[in-house]
Structure formats: C-alpha cells, structure tokens
Amino acid sequence: IHSYAELTRDEFGKPLRMFGTMIDITERKQAEEALRESETRFRAVFENSVDAIGVSKAGIHVFVNPAYLALFGYADNAELTGRPILDLIAPSQHKHILENVRRRADGHSAPAAYETRGLRKDGSEFDMDTHVSTYELDDEVYTVAHLRDITERKQAEKALRESEERLRQIASSLREVIWLRD
C-alpha cells in the first residue's frame, strides 16, 4: 500500500530547531487518480464515437467530437466553439429548433428525439436523426446532442413507397383477378 504525505516545516532560528506537520493525503491522491481515469474513459468514448456528439449551452456550441466535425464538414472545434447551433440547421427548421433550445435552457421539457435537417459548411442540407439530453453544471443547463445522417435511410424509404405505389397502380389497372397466396 502506498501512502502519500504532505510535509511542511517552519524553521525557527537555528537549523536544528524545526517544527513540522505531516498530513496524510492518500485519499486525495486516490481521488485525483480516479478522476484522471474517469476523464480518460470519457474522452475515449467521446472522441471515438461514430455518432456526432455536440455540447451546447443556450444554443451556443461549447465543444464537439470528431464525428460531429466530419458530419458538418469542419476541421476543428475552434470553428464551432461559440457559434450558434442554428448555423448547422437548415433554415426551414430554425423556428422548431429554436423553440426546443429555449425550452431546454429554461429548464422545461422538449422532445428528446426527432428528425430535422442539418446544414453542412458547404451549404448542402441533409436529413438528420437527433437525440438530445441535458445536464446542469454550476447552475447552468447544457445540452448534449447525438446526431446521425439518415439521408440514405430516407432515400430508401422514399424508393420503397414509390415502388409500392407503382405496384398498386399496376394491380388496379389489370382486368384479371390477382391474388397472393402464402
């Protein structure tokens, strides 16, 4: 078992006369090590997540992970820190998102999961799945958003609907009776 101690001393007059105190700081050192380990685990999850994760306060970016930067086409956190999240939302969705931001900042409930449209740095829009939660730190409300590009899924859903509609049109235009048997 390792023990840590903090030693302070005051010298009075001659070097041989010394007064000192020793305080056991083992618990403090263990707590510091546990905090470092916790921070390392959090950073590993945050930095390596395939989901885009962004943290904001009152609708302003605080920090984001690499997947978030890639999703929206930015190079580093400095490009987004301090900028409104609405800068990354399609203009057609601003009113809806702004209302959610206000509700969360005021401590009221807002939808935790929804679909919206994102806006990349190059100006292109995309369909986005959004999951949002909040936490408080020093009496301030922060929002954590997990985002995914769902453009391919939306395109596949649209193609399926169109295919089903074409099949219905073909079936309704036939004069013969068609039945399916399972």
Which pLDDT value is given to residue 68?
97
Q: Is residue 104 exposed (0-12), middle (13-18) or buried (19+ Cβ within 10 Å)?
A: buried
Is a pLDDT exceeding 60 seen at residue 173?
yes
Q: Assign 167 a pLDDT band (cuts: 50, 70, 90).
A: confident
CA 67 to chain centre: 10
Which pLDDT value is given to residue 3?
59
pTM: 0.72
The two tokens of residue 167 are 């099949």
The residues that bridge with 115 in the sheet, in sequence order, are 129
User: What whole-number distance in Å separates Cα of residue 104 and Cα of residue 101?
Assistant: 5
Which pLDDT value is given to residue 14?
47
The two tokens of residue 63 are 């920090």
Is a pLDDT exceeding 80 seen at residue 20?
no
Which pLDDT value is given to residue 53?
97
> Looking at residue 86, what DSSP letter applies?
G
